[in-house]
Amino acid sequence: MSTATLDERTTDPDAERTGTQRPGKPRRPSGTSRNVVGAVAAWIWLAVILLPIYYVVITSITAQGSYYTRNPLAPPSEPTFASYLLVLQSGFGTYFLNSVIVTASTVVVTTMVCLLAAYAIVRSRRWVVRSTYSLFLLGLAIPLQATIIPLFFVLGRVGLYDTLAAVVLPSIAFAIPITVLILVNFIRDIPGELFEAMRVDGAGQWQIFWRLVLPLSRSSIATVAIYDALQVWNGFLLPLVLTQSDNRRVLPLALWNFQGQFSINVPATLAAVVLSAIPILVLYLLARRQLVAGLTAGAGK
């Protein structure tokens, strides 16, 4: 292509006179301006969020001896993973396994029970079944702190005190109300024509549930699963009151223990924080598409 042709394309008088836009050069609509204040505020907010995470990560790979002598925000000159090794040798694997068992059991049972309950509430024509929705909403008004003492005595009488089941069962009970509320709203958004079409084809209630409701509710299931997992994974009060043995501790109690055990070893404490945050981060990365779809469902209505 010649130079004259390039000059002719870059300085097209017709395009300047008619206001048409040449391909490859997007132009902002007239009358609009850049939101400089909003952009600056967004970058400041991003820095506020990332700065603590950055501090935790670089401190966890800093040697204990050089922690108090270096710049807190400067990367360590000699990174070391000795703090991670120290945490792993201090029973962190047992605490991690307990948290996985408690979280996975709570999420699986809560999701299945609440999905069935939400389907029955939405599709049932009996007023008794529909009225149970109000009972689930009533559970949102009961704070966990108000039930911790009765739970302590009841679980002690039935022989479940100082077991993982003592943490799982109350966690399921307190996760059910909000999970049912979310799933009911999602199932209500499924068009009724789809239910009627499957019913005309001869499908029963279980077939409709497995072939229609379950596939269309994947985003809502991912939403409630991540939400419930985050609540149980970070739960502190129930494990603190309902467990006592070292081999029954979960990660929040382990972090509390590390804070006392390594009171002058800040890198070890923050290394335990990083290790405890990795599973939830992985869970989010695996289900982020369904989570975003679930959080934005109905936004355009």
The string of pLDDT tens digits covering residues 123-172 is 887 877 777 888 888 888 888 888 999 999 999 999 999 999 999 999 99
Three-state SS across 85-134? HHHHHHHHHHHHHHHHHHHHHHHHHHHHHHHHHHHHHHHCCCHHHHHHHH
The answer to whether the CB of 227 falls within 8 A of the CB of 287 is no
Closest CA to 164 of 277, 245, 275, 225: 245
CA distance linking residue 143 with residue 133, whole number of Å: 19
Specify the DSSP class assigned to residue 76: P
Nearest alpha-carbon partner for 276 in 93, 67, 106: 93
Report pLDDT for 32: 60
pLDDT at residue 262 in the model: 59
Rounded Cα–Cα distance for residues 80 and 259 (Å): 20
Q: How far apart are CA 219 and CA 11, in angstroms?
A: 50
pLDDT tens track for 107-118: 999 999 999 999
Our measurement of the distance from residue 23's CA atom to the centroid of its chain's CA atoms, rounded to an integer in Å, reads 42
Half-sphere exposure of 103 (CA within 13 A, CB side): 26
The predicted structure's pLDDT at residue 5: 46
pLDDT for position 7 = 46
Report pTM: 0.77
SS3 content of the chain, % helix, strand, coil (to 5): 75, 0, 25
When the pLDDT of each residue in the chain is averaged and rounded to a whole number, the result is 82
Predicted local distance difference test score (pLDDT) of residue 260: 65
Neighbours of 122 (CB within 10 A): 21
The reported pLDDT for the residue numbered 28 is 56
What does the DSSP 8-state code read for residue 159? T
What is the per-residue pLDDT for 108? 95
The answer to whether the beta carbons of residues 76 and 70 sit under 8 Å apart is yes
Specify the CATH number of the domain 91-250+279-295: 1.10.3720.10
Dihedral of the CA atoms 82, 84, 85, 89 (nearest 10)? 140
**For the chain, which ranges sit under pLDDT 50?**
1-11, 15-17, 19, 298-301
